[in-house]
Amino acid sequence: SAVTDRVADCLLFNAFFRFFNFGPNITTYLIPLESWPTPVRGTMHGFAGAAAKLGATIGLGLFWLLRSRKLMCVACAICAGLATLTTMVYSPHLVPVSADLKLIDEEWQEGRVNSSE
């Protein structure tokens, strides 16, 4: 029936949405939360948002160049490779954190004050 189809569609969409966003949300929110002091984390989220919007704008403007399927595959492979290399270079090598996040923030602030003197 139509109601059963609608419920199944909603459940399928819900599952798809959750699993599709699982990886990006982990790398975007959880890793920085455990790795960086609060002021740096906020600044970098803003920088990442601006870079994403700039990339989307450039991609939309240049999308017409990728008319052939072969060029589209090459462009996607290049973007995936660059994203992988960037992540490997700029992501910290994670080790278990035994200290409290508040202590990490305080140590970072002290180091920042000491280096500016």
In a domain? residue 10: no
**Selected residue with higher pLDDT from 1 and 71:** 71
With respect to residue 41, please indicate whether it lies within any of the assigned structural domains.
yes
CB 28 within 8 Å of CB 46: no
How sure is the predictor about 17, in pLDDT bands with cuts at 50, 70 and 90? confident
Q: Residue 41 pLDDT more than 70?
A: yes
Residue 54 scores a pLDDT above 80: yes
Residue 18 has pLDDT above 90, yes or no: no
Q: Taking the CB of residue 36, how many other CB atoms lie within 10 A of it?
A: 19
Number of domains in the chain: 1
pLDDT for res 77? 92
3-state secondary structure 19-30: HHCHHHHHHHHH
Q: Of residues 14 and 94, which shows the higher confidence score?
A: 14
Domain residue limits at 80: 36-116
